[in-house]
Amino acid sequence: MSKKNKEKLLGQIIVGPVTYDVVEVRELRNDEGARLYGQCLDSKDEIRLTEGLKPNRKRTALLHETLHALDNLHLIGLSEKQIHRLAVGLINLIDDNPDLLGGYDGR
């Protein structure tokens, strides 16, 4: 990694048997040169996020890339459009139902 695109470790996410480092990098681009908000690199057990994203965009990008990791692990075969829609939908679900994941025991 060049100094121009130095990584900053933000934390880790466990997806099944894999622990992904979550890192922030100065710039991300796909093979065609288009700018990316995030990228899941299974070969390096790494999720990359573009530096300087606003908190809501960063959260959505992190969930989006985590969905890619789950899709790759479980061989689901989701399209990019499906991953995007799921990420946005799950963020909305969590925001609209703050008690959904916190301490709900089904009683």
Confidence of residue 104 (pLDDT cuts 50, 70, 90): low
Segment 3-62, tens digit of pLDDT = 455 778 889 999 999 999 999 999 999 999 999 999 999 999 999 999 999 999 999 999
Q: What's the number of CA atoms in the CB half-sphere (13 Å) around residue 89?
A: 7
The residues pairing with 24 across neighbouring beta strands, listed in sequence order, are: 8, 49
Tokens of 16: 């099944």
Tokens of 45: 């057990």
Segment 69-103, tens digit of pLDDT = 999 999 999 999 999 999 999 999 989 998 887 76
Q: What is the pLDDT of residue 106?
A: 57
Amino acid sitting at position 11? G
Going by C-beta distance under 8 Å and a sequence separation of 6 or more, which residues neighbour residue 77? 71
Dist CA 82 CA 60 (whole Å): 14
